[in-house]
Amino acid sequence: MAYVHRAEGAPDRTAPPSGDGENVLRFRRAGAERKDVPSPIDLAQLIEGEIIPRLLAAHQNGRSEVIPMNLGVIASDELAAFARDAMVADLARLVDQVEFLMRRGVSVEGIYFELLSPAAKLLGEWWERDDCTFADVTVGLCRLQQLVYEFADRVHVEDGGGDGRTALFALTPGDQHSFGLIMVVEYFRQAGWRTICMPDATAQDLEALVQAERFDLIGFSMANERWLEPLTPLIARLRAVSRNGAVRVMVGGRAFSDHPERVVQVGADQTATDAREAVKTAARLFASQHSAA
């Protein structure tokens, strides 16, 4: 959502030129010698047009909302409030909250990795502590996934290395935590990969697919280590039946971020801590494969 004001003394919220930082609120006053310093008029209009309506809305909702002084950072209380809202608010209200954070200086990557991913983790923790129901968590995660798609076209991915390669992504059969997988798939798509995502696939489904279609990369996400043992023979079987004899396999998720030695244990090639790192790791993986060839 863009806000452009051309009147004398009004804030110009147009996006800065490329390389100058995305979604950063800038103040420009025509004829002013110090363009980087907001005038009293600018500040008054910001308070009147942005901050007061938010405070009034928060008051009407029966809660107080404190805007932190460090405007480019998402505070822990904001994160918790957003996670709670994800379970009860509609998508439009959540989009408005994200847009507000971006106008405050939070980048799209900051939204993904400092808001949406931690919010999903919080929902899982609350569920494990019986602080919310399975239905609440399901609704919340669905809303967070919708937000990933809503802002996907604003993501800027460097060193993608896709070049039209095809990647198959799946949850480890039995696992149910798909939010991280959705993030990974979206980042690979933005990096130029052709992606196929099968979060509900069985081992038999995956075998049939890699026999029917050629994939350069297979990626698994696993949050719960209880599914670790079945993953090892599954990866071996997929390599054996794959139409691509040189197919690469990456694994990710909490089960591997806490124990990276498990990558070798299950027979995978690489792991990554998040979607950004996964894209870069895959690019390096195929660059080394090309050099060896």
Q: Of the residues 101, 120, 153, which one is the last residue of a structural domain?
A: 153
Query: pLDDT class for 61, splitting at 50, 70, 90?
Result: low
- Statement: residue 30 has pLDDT above 70: no
Q: Mark whether 204 and 102 lie in a shared domain.
A: no
Provide the β-strand partners of residue 272. Answer: 252
More confident residue, 53 or 172: 172
Kindly report, residue by residue over 179-226, the tens digit of the pLDDT: 889 999 999 988 889 999 998 899 999 999 999 999 999 999 988 888
Give the per-residue pLDDT at 5. Answer: 36
List the CATH number of the domain containing 238. 3.40.50.280
Kindly report, residue by residue over 135-167, the tens digit of the pLDDT: 999 899 999 999 998 998 887 776 566 677 999
Q: Mark whether 75 and 149 lie in a shared domain.
A: yes
Q: Mark whether 170 and 261 lie in a shared domain.
A: yes
Kindly report, residue by residue over 98-132, the tens digit of the pLDDT: 999 999 899 998 999 999 999 998 998 898 898 98
Q: Of the residues 32, 65, 98, which one is the last residue of a structural domain?
A: 65
Q: Which residue has the tokens 């994939």?
A: 215
DSSP for residue 153: G
Domain range for 229 is 166-292
Strands, sheet with 270-272, edge to edge from the N-terminal-most edge strand: 194-198, 166-171, 217-221, 248-252, 270-272
Q: How far apart are the first and last CA of the chain?
A: 47
